[in-house]
């Protein structure tokens, strides 16, 4: 596995592989890799000859008071996992390499980035879109693989790739969960045992809504209410429990139904909640994703 920290050298390596006839798949991450990330690497390996992973804790996507400084950093363990997973190149730049002195450009995605995390973390998706644009420009034509746990991020990055004509296919991979339903996240390491037990209300709430959906419920207020009642009894704060159109991520109003026009019939139930100091997100595309608990 090549280990690189210079964007120019990564670009040269990716160009050389393509010139030799190899296809590339790219997995952008912030490190602290867990089985969810390794599922992205596996999918990348299935789709291309060479897999590139980036590890960069991107400062521009963290707001004031968020966990930029304490975000888990486990580079050597991550590098070992990447080598084991068949990664061809690991790119782990320093902040100055991605944002050299004088850097002034930011990339903003509108509509799809507006609600949910866009409303609760001002500037977050601008930071994500900016760093991913830089990374896409360095890696070049490839398949880029992201987790569906960050559902809105995935839709933002699909829109970004389409709108800016990046020669990149953006694909999503199903959320990996613990046996008790908790979605894997690098931030789970912050949870005390008590907080972790309370966090299980999130997969429980999503599963209850999925069951209601399976029994024919399509009204937004009923589906959201079912999940919310379970989650708010356990967590410290809910940022949102929202039913949104699965394609454009616009929230459904309380009196809307998934099944009635203008809705497409596909909807994502998305949650962001705080347990202790930890902000957790999770989601289900109703009728498509398996409920976290069966
Ligand atoms: O999902 C993440 O880990 C990050 O938001 C990403 C896409 C690597 C951009 O920093």
Average confidence (pLDDT) over 203-208: 98
Distance 37 CA to ligand 1 centre (A): 11
Task: With cut-offs at 50, 70 and 90, classify the pLDDT of residue 263.
Answer: confident
DSSP-derived letter for residue 113 is G
Query: Of all atoms in ligand 1, which is nearest to the CA of residue 58?
Result: 10
Query: What confidence tier does 60 reach under pLDDT thresholds 50, 70, 90?
Result: very high
Instruction: Please indicate whether residue 37 is annotated as part of the active site.
Output: yes
Q: What is the pTM of this model?
A: 0.97
Residue in 15, 23, 16 with CA at minimum distance from that of residue 47: 23
Write down the pLDDT at residue 75. 98
Average pLDDT across the chain, whole number: 97
Under the banding of pLDDT at 50, 70 and 90, the label for residue 282 is very high
Q: What atom of ligand 1 comes closest to residue 186's alpha carbon?
A: 3
Q: What is the pLDDT of residues 147-191, one digit of tens each?
A: 999 999 999 999 999 999 999 999 999 999 999 999 999 999 999
Query: Any alpha helices (H) in the chain, and if so which ranges?
Result: 7-19, 35-47, 75-84, 95-98, 117-120, 124-139, 151-163, 193-199, 201-214, 220-232
Would you state the torsion angle of the CA atoms of residues 225, 231, 233, 234, taken in this order, to the nearest 10 degrees?
Answer: 180
pLDDT at residue 262, rounded to an integer = 83
Bridge partner residues of 241 (DSSP): 271
Task: For ligand 1, atom 3, name the residue with the nearest CA.
Answer: 29
* Binding pocket residue ranges, ligand 1, CB within 6 Å: 28-30, 58, 61, 128, 131-132, 150, 153
Q: Are 239 and 253 in contact (CB under 8 A)?
A: no
Single out the catalytic residue among 34, 37, 114, 124.
37
pLDDT digits (tens, 9 = 90+) for 166-176: 999 999 999 99
Q: What percent of the chain has pLDDT over 70?
A: 100
Per-residue pLDDT averaged across 7-26, rounded? 98
Token couple for 156: 């933002």
């Amino acid at each position: 596995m090549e280990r690189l920290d210079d964007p120019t050298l990564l670009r040269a390596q990716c160009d050389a592989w393509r010139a030799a006839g190899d296809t590339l798949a790219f997995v952008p991450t912030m490190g602290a890799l867990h089985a969810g990330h390794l599922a992205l690497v596996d999918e990348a390996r299935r789709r291309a000859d060479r897999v590139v992973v980036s590890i960069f804790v991107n400062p521009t996507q963290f707001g004031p008071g968020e966990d930029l400084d304490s975000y888990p950093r486990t580079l050597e363990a991550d590098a070992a996992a990447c080598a084991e997973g068949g990664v061809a190149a690991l790119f782990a730049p320093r902040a100055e390499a991605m944002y050299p002195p004088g850097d002034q450009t930011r990339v903003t995605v509108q509509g799809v980035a507006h609600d949910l995390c866009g409303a609760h973390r001002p500037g977050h998706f601008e930071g994500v879109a900016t760093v991913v644009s830089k990374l896409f420009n360095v890696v070049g034509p490839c398949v880029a693989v992201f987790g569906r746990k960050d559902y809105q991020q995935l839709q933002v990055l699909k829109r970004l790739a389409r709108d800016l004509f990046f020669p990149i296919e953006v694909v999503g991979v199903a959320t990996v969960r613990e046996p008790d339903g908790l979605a894997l996240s690098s931030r789970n390491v912050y949870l005390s045992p008590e907080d972790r037990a309370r966090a299980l209300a999130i997969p429980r709430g999503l599963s209850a809504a999925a069951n209601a959906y399976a029994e024919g419920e399509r009204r937004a207020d009923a589906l959201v209410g079912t999940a919310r009642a379970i989650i708010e009894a356990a967590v410290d704060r809910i940022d949102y429990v929202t039913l949104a159109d699965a394609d454009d991520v616009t929230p459904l109003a309380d009196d809307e139904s998934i099944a009635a026009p203008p809705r497409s019939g596909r909807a994502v139930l998305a949650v962001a909640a705080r347990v202790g100091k930890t902000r957790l997100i999770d989601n289900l595309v109703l009728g498509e994703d398996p409920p976290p608990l069966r």
